[in-house]
Amino acid sequence: MAGRGVVRWGAVTIGLFDPVFNRGGVAAGDDAWLRALLDVEAALARALERAGLASAGSGAAVTEAAATGTFDPAELGTGLTGNPVPGLARALARQVPPAAREAVHRGATSQDVMDTAAMLLAGRACDVIGADLRQAADAAAGLAAAHRGTLMMGRTLLQQAVPVTFGLVGAGWLSGLDDARAGLATVRRTRLAVQFGGAAGTLASLGSDGPRVAALLAGELGLAVPVLPWHTDRLRIIDLAAALAKVTAVLGKIARDVTLLAQNEVGEVREGGPPPLAGAQSGPGGRFPPDAGGSPGGSPPRGKYGGSSAMPHKSNPVAAIAVLGCVKQVPGLVATLIGTAEQEYQRAAGAWHAEWEPFSTLLRLAGSAASWGAGLLGGLVVDGQRMAANLAATEGLPLAEHVTSLLAGVLGQIQAHDLVARASERAVSAGLPLRDVLLGVPELADRLSAAGVSAEQVEAALEPAGYLGAADAFIDAALTAHGGRYG
């Protein structure tokens, strides 16, 4: 990417912002694109040979050259042709035996190779992101199960509402992660298709063999076979973008919850330290160490996790912030991909080219967010005592709805609501627990007594554990659904 800053540590070269925005195993940079383009050209040669349209051994020869040859993106002449495929095809042909050159790029147009390579990149990214989402969901399931009885304050519109449990919060995160992963898997399975249409979508240069070669190419690459070429039908790109947007939306919701719950004034959760890198690889495409270093052998200095350059006392929720930093870029990228879907006739003039960078960036950011999210949930520290203290500090006000429901049966809903509202206002203004006002103010206590409501009933209505509704059942439902999906 032009103008991108890089930092070198030993033999490792990374971008300055890669540790935040290019974390995990998703590879969507120049190297990954070049590898995917070569994979497509090699698979096409094998498909042509299997179809009897190329000499025996040509598929293996092209595959060998694609795997071991020398290809420099700077030498492909992309600026001359508008895309890298013509230069790549010529460079590949020069590195295969003369008898096998007939199998290089035969029947394909540049967009066929680019679009199919994009589908390969997307499939590989979906696999990595899906694994990270599974790790995040398993961690959320563990939180839901472990904290099903951990009482905390529920908050709506950023204000105290009624009691919930942290287990229910975790179950909500779990359900969202499972749904996002299922949606991504559906796109991975059904919407990532080979592109093979030739110059204008007819495969005229291959005659009647064209559809058979397309099917063989799809089989070689593990992609779906479309009904027909989709050069200017970009719904597959939009479907993938939408699935990734859902993934990042779920991760963003979790990260935002963590940043709010980790505020010093709330203090109900905190990050446990640098999240371990999710997935099988060790960096962006496996290119750099998983955390911010520490060893003198080439890694950068570690420093204090979550620290500030100006305020030594700070411990910022770095993983949650990084997730949000990735997520907030996604809507613009998705909007661009939707905007480029209007394409002319059989091949687009510019709109197709406009997809490449936002497409690559979307894969990279979604992969980074998923990797950060898996580490975040896996290392999240829950402070149940602080949750209980915050709930107790409300002095019964969040149970006002429960008290109202107790009184509604004897006073009617409106009168019960008005009575408890007056009691709540007096409790706030006097700095008293709601219980003391309900039972200690003669006017209110007399009305309760006349209605046959005992002090014991009021005390019970003000017990948070008694006003959790179906929270436990919802937790069970989320855990059961998760287990049913993944065992």
- The catalytic residue positions are 308, 347
Beta strands 12-15; 269-271: pairing state = unpaired
Closest to 27 measured CA to CA, from 361, 278, 369, 374 = 361
Output DSSP code: residue 102: G
Cβ(185)–Cβ(123) under 8 Å?
A: no
Tokens of 155: 């908050």
Do residues 470 and 165 touch, judged by C-beta distance below 8 A? no
For residue 155, what are the contacts with CB-CB under 8 A and spacing of at least 6?
161
Backbone dihedral angles phi then psi of residue 440, each to the nearest 5 degrees: -105, -20
d(CA 277, CA 254): 18
Give the pairing type, strands 380-382 and 269-271. antiparallel
CA gap 340, 469 in Å, rounded:
48
Within 8 A by CB and 6+ apart from 300, the residues are 7, 9, 292, 293
**Rounded distance, CA 33 to CA 39, Å?**
10
Residue pair 166/384 in contact by the 8 Å Cβ criterion: yes
What distance in Å separates the CA atoms of residue 229 and residue 460, rounded to the nearest whole number?
67
Phi, psi (5° rounding) for residue 421? -65, -45
Collapsing DSSP to helix, strand or coil, 193 comes out as: strand
d(CA 149, CA 323): 28
| Bridge partner residues of 212 (DSSP) | none
Q: How far is CA 191 from the centre of its chain?
A: 18
Written as one string, the DSSP assignment of 226-255 is: PSS--TT--HHHHHHHHHHHHHHHHHHHHH
Tokens of 202: 């007819």
